[in-house]
Structure 1
Amino acid sequence: MKKHHSGGQRPQSKKPRANVLEVKEQEELMKFLIAQLPHKNRNNIKSLLKKRQVLVDGKAITQFNHLLKPGQRITLESASAPIARQMRGVVVVHEDKDLIVVNKNAGLLTTATDKENRETVFSILSNYLKEQDKSNNIYVVHRLDRETSGLIVFAKSKEMQELLQESWKQSADSRSYLAVIEGKLDPAEGTHRSYLFQSKIFKVHSSQDPDKGDLAVTHYSTIKSNELYSLLKVSMEPGRKNQVRVHLQDLKHPVIGDKKYGSKSNPIGRLGLHAWVLAFKHPVSGKNLRFETSIPGSFLKLF
């Protein structure tokens, strides 16, 4: 009787399987891993987390205090997840089959321009998705200025791009920004309206003449302030190019680091504008999605 057990017929022997652990009770990730991996110390485990080699139900987790639930499966990858290499300046906040929400650093363009073709959020995400499947594509839904940090959403299909852009105007009130401005607003909160238009040199201007541009409405409230600066929460209707920057210049309290629109100070070496909260209804699932980032540390240091 012949035995067909040659090594070449075992795919497992070619590619070692990842180590999979099952969670039995609710506990913090670090505590679980220390108990399950007696041959590794805390620093070894922190290194695994930092390199995104610890997956909880298939998703890379980096927080050591992440709370585990019974039934979840922990996978320990033998190599760093490729996302850690690729995503310089971009952190994935949410991803599903239809869309992807990321938090971008200041200094990254959303997409390439005629004048500039360096690495962008679009190119980084395109590479990330194509590494998973070469047929994957990414589509721009909205943009953030290069020097603005924060939340931005991309679609994974042309249909989803159109659905998101259709609903964008309705969800404008669910997008909040943080702005650090020069000085202190009086009153501390309010609304500013004007008509915006763009010059031939791509600078946006503000006017009270309805015939000159498109109506833009900006709501603002002060979160913190001192003698030099104020931290504002800002929302827009409908959300036009450079709207926050132009309107705060109108109010004689420009965004710090915004030389283009009247700022004379740059205490943190970047524009003091951050896309803080993003909320919208998922066009396919109908689920209400809401994402909020932490306030940039450089903003808080001023207060």
Structure 2
Amino acid sequence: MKRTIIYHINAEEDGLTIGQFLKRKKYSGQNLTQLKKQEQGILLNSKPAYVIHKLAEGDTLTINILEEEISEKIPPVPLPVHIVYEDEDLMVLDKPADMPIHPSMKNYENSLANGLAWYFASQNIPFVFRCINRLDRDTTGLTIIAKHMVSGGILSVMAARREISREYLAIVSGTGMPPEGTVDAPLGRKPGSAIERMVDFEHGERAVTHYRVLQEKNGCSLISLHLETGRTHQIRVHMKYLGYPLIGDFLYYPDKTLISRQALHSCRLEFSHPITGQPMVFTSPLPEDMQQVLR
């Protein structure tokens, strides 16, 4: 993966070292270490430079990212990949149901990562898989993929700082919920289970979910959810805790009468571009299987 990023230094940045400037751009310490190891990684006015060099107004700082390694444990498989957006730094994909993000021991060749490995291998582009907002296997919708180490580092920091706004749509069992509300209940592992989570006020990590009811139909409610934190199974456990579990959820409400998988969809992402800073908004419509429940 090759990427060249060019910065033109203005008056406000005059006097900063290259390292200070790049840290203001949210480059991580690891990013700087990796760039220093590359022969042409950092150029100041077309000449190799160190991170301690000072910048002056009118300077041109060039960052050359070269990644030749690949994710060796992710075999390329010709799977369909629905690309909503792609540029030199990131991709936004719309993930279908029944597709995990990563390969696993029992599902080594049917993941989003496998499909992306094929997509880049077919273009002879080395690719390291970096997924920013991971979705459960049967959760559909939008997910962000970083295309190189710098965008990956910046997007990961943005996610940790809650600078990526995520909206989900879910269909829960039951009607009569308060029109909107917030669930602030810590989550922890369920004893005796490797994958299940539970509300645990004694040992759990803080988890906050905001919800709003959009529609009631057929004994179910369509709700919009915004995550303030990103714990494993957060929406699924919080809705069950409220008494309105997601329909079709094999772990927390295994009733597949209306739908064959958990009715959860990542419908909207909003964030600033990690390199340009431009605002970005992406949406994905409600999938057909969830629409059918509401007809």
Fold match (TM-score > 0.5): yes
Paired letter, 2:230: G
User: How far does residue 259 in structure 1 lie from its aligned partner after superposition?
Assistant: 2.9
Is 2:177 aligned against 1:186? yes
User: How far does residue 227 in structure 1 lie from its aligned partner after superposition?
Assistant: 4.5
> For residue 168 of structure 1, what is the aligned residue in structure 2?
159
Paired letter, 1:204: R
**Quick check: which has more Rg, 1 or 2?**
1
Q: Which has the higher contact order (CA 8 A, sep 6+)?
A: 2
> For residue 259 of structure 1, what is the aligned residue in structure 2?
250
CA distance in 2, matches of 1:106, 1:259: 14
Is 2:241 aligned against 1:275? no
> For residue 203 of structure 1, what is the aligned residue in structure 2?
196
Please give the residue correspondences for 1:127-166 in structure 2 after superposition, counting only pairs within 5 Å: 127-166=118-157
The answer to whether the Cα contact below 8 Å between 2:186 and 2:204 also exists between their aligned partners in 1 is yes
> For residue 288 of structure 1, what is the aligned residue in structure 2?
279
Structure 2 vs 1, CA of residues 131 and 245 (structure 1 numbering), >3 Å: closer, same or farther? same
Paired letter, 1:286: G
The answer to whether the Cα contact below 8 Å between 2:250 and 2:261 also exists between their aligned partners in 1 is no
* Secondary structure at the counterpart of residue 222 of structure 1: strand
Unaligned runs of 5+ in 1: 1-84
User: How far does residue 238 in structure 1 lie from its aligned partner after superposition?
Assistant: 1.1
> For residue 215 of structure 1, what is the aligned residue in structure 2?
206
Identity of aligned residues (%): 31
211, 228, 247: which one pairs with 1:237?
Answer: 228
The answer to whether the Cα contact below 8 Å between 2:164 and 2:269 also exists between their aligned partners in 1 is no
CA distance in 2, matches of 1:256, 1:103: 21
The answer to whether the Cα contact below 8 Å between 2:182 and 2:210 also exists between their aligned partners in 1 is yes
User: How far does residue 265 in structure 1 lie from its aligned partner after superposition?
Assistant: 4.2
- Measured against aligned partners, the alpha-carbon deviations of 1:153-208 in whole angstroms (never above 9, x if no partner) come to 1111122211101001334661000000101142121111111112452211112x
The answer to whether the Cα contact below 8 Å between 2:250 and 2:262 also exists between their aligned partners in 1 is no
208, 217, 233: which one pairs with 1:226?
Answer: 217
* Secondary structure at the counterpart of residue 167 of structure 1: helix
User: How far does residue 263 in structure 1 lie from its aligned partner after superposition?
Assistant: 4.4
The answer to whether the Cα contact below 8 Å between 2:103 and 2:109 also exists between their aligned partners in 1 is yes
Looking at secondary structure, tell me which structure has more helix per residue: 1
CA distance in 2, matches of 1:173, 1:120: 24
RMSD (CA atoms): 1.8
CA distance in 2, matches of 1:265, 1:184: 18
* Secondary structure at the counterpart of residue 251 of structure 2: helix
CA distance in 2, matches of 1:132, 1:218: 40
User: How far does residue 241 in structure 1 lie from its aligned partner after superposition?
Assistant: 0.8
Paired letter, 2:217: N
> For residue 92 of structure 1, what is the aligned residue in structure 2?
83
> For residue 168 of structure 2, what is the aligned residue in structure 1?
177
The answer to whether the Cα contact below 8 Å between 2:218 and 2:293 also exists between their aligned partners in 1 is no
Count of residue correspondences: 216
CA distance in 2, matches of 1:226, 1:141: 34
CA distance in 1, matches of 2:125, 2:93: 21
Paired letter, 2:166: R
- Measured against aligned partners, the alpha-carbon deviations of 1:227-274 in whole angstroms (never above 9, x if no partner) come to 511110011111111000000000111101013113434312221000
TM-score calculated relative to the size of structure 1: 0.67
> For residue 124 of structure 1, what is the aligned residue in structure 2?
115
- Measured against aligned partners, the alpha-carbon deviations of 1:36-58 in whole angstroms (never above 9, x if no partner) come to xxxxxxxxxxxxxxxxxxxxxxx
- Measured against aligned partners, the alpha-carbon deviations of 1:75-111 in whole angstroms (never above 9, x if no partner) come to xxxxxxxxxx9442x3100001111110010100000
CA distance in 1, matches of 2:253, 2:163: 26
Paired letter, 1:233: S
Please give the residue correspondences for 1:39-78 in structure 2 after superposition, counting only pairs within 5 Å: none
- Measured against aligned partners, the alpha-carbon deviations of 1:15-74 in whole angstroms (never above 9, x if no partner) come to xxxxxxxxxxxxxxxxxxxxxxxxxxxxxxxxxxxxxxxxxxxxxxxxxxxxxxxxxxxx
CA distance in 2, matches of 1:227, 1:297: 16
The answer to whether the Cα contact below 8 Å between 1:255 and 1:263 also exists between their aligned partners in 2 is no
CA distance in 1, matches of 2:107, 2:231: 22
User: Does 189-198 or 166-175 show the bigger shift?
Assistant: 166-175
